[in-house]
Amino acid sequence: MAPPKRTSSALGGDDGDDPQDAAAPTSPDDVLALAEEAEAEAAEAEALAAAARARARALRLRREAAAAGASAPTTVTPITAAEPSEATEVVGPDEPDVVDEPITDEPITDEPAAADDPAASDDPAAASRQRRLRLPRPSLALAAAALAIALTVGFVAAGVYMTLHHQRVVAQQERSAEFAAAARQGVVTLMSLDFTRAEEDVQRIIDNTTGDFRKDFEGQAEIFTQVAQESKVITEATVNSVAVASMTQDTATVLVAVTTNVSNAASQEQQPRSWRLSVDVARDAGQIKLAKVEFVP
């Protein structure tokens, strides 16, 4: 700032003392002080200009970083001590100390921090919504993997169920065939008789029966043998069909269709006769035997 000019009273033709003339420098020391003051004011103006340039540069860098996006964070080279004119403001004699905020390497974004947002801190619901929005979403690969695991478990369970079901069906078929075969053989043994070996046939019938049916037949075995020998009867039985009506683990009811051919000494061979029987069989000491025989009309 230039020192004020002195106005001579002689030039103005005014004999009175001017107030400005009283403050005008009258010695070399005053002139030197005014020069130093002007130099300080010039330095202060230069410092203010440098600070304004620094602010403009920082603002420009922030705008460039915001335009570039969050995909490539902008790294700003911090101002070193070699450039004091662009890092800080020179404090004038009549102004408080003002220091510009240093520029760091942190990425500059337009989104304010959650802690600096008073609305977010005062509103718990808004903060909760913000946390929910920031939760990571499951990726497509993760969903596909979960679906594949679920399908694999389902296929394995279905395979195990089908295997067990198949095993049960096969076991039932085998047990049914076993009961049917035992009923077929028992009926043939029961209804086939040769008077020449009546005792052997009667004992074979006893060996292939069980339960109350065996007890009843044993009580009549002697009479049955004597009648067969006296009548000289020969009976041959042929099973035509057999079907299991019901069964459990160790018992079954079997329907049997059988045809018998009877011959004796009086009338050589008679006409064949057909019979339908309901036969109960039961497992006895590991062998399936006849437990009951009924004729079905």
Same domain for 258 and 182? Answer: yes
pLDDT, residue 82, reads 41
5 assigned to some structural domain: no
* Distance in angstroms (rounded) separating the CA atoms of residues 220 and 214: 10
Q: Is the Cβ–Cβ distance between 290 and 208 less than 8 Å?
A: yes
* Coil, strand or helix at 18: coil
Concatenate the DSSP letters of all residues of 203-245 into one string. Answer: HHHHHTB-HHHHHHHHHHHHHHHHHHHHHT-EEEEEEEEEEEE
Share above pLDDT 70 across residues of the chain, in percent, rounded to a whole number: 66
Domain extent, residue 96, equals 26-113
- Is residue 33 in a domain? yes
Per-residue pLDDT, 25: 52
Which of 113, 146, 169 terminates a domain? The answer is: 113
Are 95 and 205 in a shared domain?
Answer: no
- pLDDT, tens digit, 9 for 90 and up, residues 236-265: 899 999 999 999 988 999 999 999 988 876
Which CATH number covers residue 267?
Answer: 3.10.450.230
Total tally of structural domains belonging to the chain: 2
pLDDT given at position 230: 84
Q: Is residue 155 part of a domain?
A: no
Using the structure block, give the residue that is written with the tokens 């103005």.
Answer: 12
Q: Is residue 159 part of a domain?
A: no
Q: Tens digits of per-residue pLDDT, 46-93? A: 888 888 889 888 888 888 888 887 555 445 454 444 444 443 444 444
In a domain, 124, yes or no: no
- Domain membership of residue 1 (yes or no) is no
pLDDT tens digits for range 259-295:
998 887 666 667 788 999 999 999 988 889 999 999 8
Q: What is the H or E stretch that residue 186 is in? A: helix 140-191
For residues 86 and 181, state if they share a domain.
Answer: no
Domain boundary at 113, 134, 156, which?
113
DSSP one-letter code for 273: E
Residue 215 located in a structural domain: yes
Q: Is residue 16 part of a domain?
A: no
Distance in angstroms (rounded) separating the CA atoms of residues 182 and 187: 9
2 versus 249: the higher-pLDDT residue is 249
What is the average pLDDT value for the chain, to the nearest integer? Answer: 75
**Rounded to whole angstroms, how far apart are CA atoms 36 and 42?**
10
